[in-house]
Amino acid sequence: MILTPLLIAWVMAVILALLDGRRIWVGWLAIGAMAGVFLTTLRLTIRVIEHGSLEIVAGGWPLGLGITLRADALGTVFALVSSGVLLVALIYEVLAGVHERAMPALTLFLATGLTGLFFTGDAFNFYVFFEITMTASFVLTTYGQREREMRAALIFMVVNLLGSSLFLSAIASLYHLTGTLDMRALTAIAGSLEQNSVTFTSILIFVAFCIKLGLFPFHFWLPPVYRDSWPAVAAILSGAVANVGSYGLLRFGGMILERELQLNGGALIALGAASILYGAVQAVSVRTVGEALAYSAIGQAGYILLALGIGGPVGIGAAILFALINSINKTLLFLTTGLNGWLVGAAFAIGAFSVAGVPPSLGFFGKVALFQIGITAQNTLLLVIIFLGSALSFIYMFQIYQRAHWAVDHPEQPSRRPSRLLVLGVGILIIALGLWPEPLLLLSQRATDLVIGTP
């Protein structure tokens, strides 16, 4: 059951790699496969919510020896949202016309990496799937193959390879300290280790995932990459690949190195606040849509770190919920940057309202959760920062709206209708999830219970 989404993605990726992705039927075959991945992940999620986590040990080895695949609430919910994002981005690109043969196959390889990464129970296996994801996204960033995309891919690759090396070093030192790579065993042992020895490892892991997520001091690669890559690819990077960072911080910080996370809460809050303000101010000041959205992504990632720094059930819950909502918002916004026409403006406005946190959009619940952590921590400064970030996000979102969709004096050729209907569909989904948020709230609640450790 755990293997189904992973196998569909992997087998179909290998088959699609042999076919010419520019043909329309190959594109739809890839969409079918991706929909299969999404639906099987959905079935798995329902199963996990109803009956608890599932586990498979590869090769039938006794527990602790073989590599485990484990589907729990935290992993499945991230896998569900990420495969949904990949599905939407793939449909968008096929509707617009794929113009490079490897693109559908690469999306499915990315799905393989992400699904495996969210379902693995082994720290080194996590690294391997992490590299599969990153390799697929490096190649995907070159999509378009003009100067700007190649430049973006080069920056993205060099910086993220450095991040991967740091993460691999962290795993090696975790193995040295604990003698195991199984995440559950690591969680049990890491709390009793000597403090000083774990600090170095925690910092390495923290830096590695912050590079992936693009948080303030490690953000420098992010704006050129998101600005210069193709809209569908930017949506995949910000909606699906960035989830690796938030999931990694939750899995390694929230569960395995829980004590270190609590001890360094202050530093996390400071970095998160800096990230929120820096991202928002930069987004207000830049002139291009892609760049403003990229800086907005830096700011939004800051909220996740802020919530993690507060910790506790409320903080972790807000971090999970906000990470999921943020990836849906960012997908919609980046997809609209490649289109023209009036439906696109409407879809963008929905996304903008969701980022600013206006009801009845989905973003409202993320913002509610964030304000809750400020109130729980009884910290006025924190509330001011969250409010300031939201207010600034309102300003830059409508600056973009005004320049890109409202005050356009030279009417451009509107994009094809199916593409515009697709982004509008995602917008309606955001409203619908905002009106009926129970499923998402339940999922994030279960994931929070898992991270906190309450049965």
Partner 1 sequence: MNVLLALAVAVLFGSGTFLMLKHDLIRVAAGVLMISNATTLFIMTVSLHRGRAPIYPLPEDQPISDPVVQSLALTAIVIGFGLTALLLVIIFRVYGLYGTLSGTAHPKQEESPEEIAALARHQRPLQRSPRRVDAP
Beta carbons of 75 and 252 less than 8 angstroms apart: no
- Please, which of residues 85-144 interact with partner 1 by CB under 8 A? 96-99, 124, 128, 131, 135, 138-139, 142, 144
Give the interface segment with partner 1, choosing from 5-13, 54-62, 229-237, 428-436 (CB under 8 A). 229-237
Minimum CB separation of residue 147 from partner 1 in Å reads: 4
Task: Give residue 70's identity as a one-letter amino acid code.
Answer: R
Neighbour count for residue 177 (Cβ, 10 Å):
17
Q: How many residues bind partner 1 (CB under 8 A)?
A: 57
Beta carbons of 216 and 298 less than 8 angstroms apart: yes
Per-residue binding string, partner 1, 182-201, x by CB under 8 A, is --------------------
- Please, which of residues 209-228 interact with partner 1 by CB under 8 A? 227-228
Nearest-angstrom CA–CA distance, 34 and 84: 9
Minimum CB separation of residue 221 from partner 1 in Å reads: 12
Give the interface segment with partner 1, choosing from 31-39, 69-77, 114-122, 153-161 (CB under 8 A). 153-161
Judged by CB under 8 A, the residue of 15, 19, 54, 162 near partner 1 is 162
Token digits for 169? Answer: 């070093």
Judged by CB under 8 A, the residue of 50, 59, 60, 147 near partner 1 is 147
Token digits for 217? Answer: 């001091």
Neighbour count for residue 110 (Cβ, 10 Å):
29
Give the interface segment with partner 1, choosing from 149-157, 191-199, 360-368, 427-435 (CB under 8 A). 149-157
The nearer residue to partner 1, 319 or 426, going by C-beta atoms, is 426
Judged by CB under 8 A, the residue of 148, 281, 376, 379 near partner 1 is 148
Q: Supply the angle between the helices 289-310 and 195-213 in degrees, to the nearest 10.
A: 150
- Please, which of residues 389-428 interact with partner 1 by CB under 8 A? 400, 402-404, 407, 413, 415-416
The residue written with tokens 């990229």 in the block is 294
The nearer residue to partner 1, 312 or 414, going by C-beta atoms, is 414
What DSSP string runs through 110-166?
HHHHHHHHHHB-BHHHHHHHHHHHHHHHHHHHTTT-SHHHHHHHHHHHHHHHHHHHH
Minimum CB separation of residue 152 from partner 1 in Å reads: 10
- DSSP state at residue 218: G
The nearer residue to partner 1, 204 or 304, going by C-beta atoms, is 204
Minimum CB separation of residue 387 from partner 1 in Å reads: 26
Token digits for 167? Answer: 């993460």
Token digits for 311? Answer: 């910790």
Terminal-residue alpha carbon distance, the chain = 23
The nearer residue to partner 1, 37 or 96, going by C-beta atoms, is 96
The residue written with tokens 């189904």 in the block is 4
Minimum CB separation of residue 58 from partner 1 in Å reads: 14
The nearer residue to partner 1, 173 or 376, going by C-beta atoms, is 173
Beta carbons of 31 and 90 less than 8 angstroms apart: yes
Nearest-angstrom CA–CA distance, 310 and 306: 6
Q: Is 23 in the site for partner 1 (CB under 8 A)?
A: no
Token digits for 177? Answer: 């300290």
Residues in the chain: 455
Nearest-angstrom CA–CA distance, 392 and 20: 45
Per-residue binding string, partner 1, 234-273, x by CB under 8 A, is x---------------------------------------
Beta carbons of 326 and 334 less than 8 angstroms apart: no
Token digits for 45? Answer: 């999620």
Residues 6+ apart with CB under 8 A from 245: 209, 210, 211, 212, 213, 214, 301
Minimum CB separation of residue 214 from partner 1 in Å reads: 17
Minimum CB separation of residue 282 from partner 1 in Å reads: 15
- Please, which of residues 325-384 interact with partner 1 by CB under 8 A? 337-338, 340
Residues that bind partner 1 (CB under 8 A): 22, 96-99, 124, 128, 131, 135, 138-139, 142, 144-148, 150-151, 153-154, 157-158, 161-162, 165, 168-169, 171-173, 175-176, 181, 227-231, 234, 287-291, 293, 337-338, 340, 400, 402-404, 407, 413, 415-416
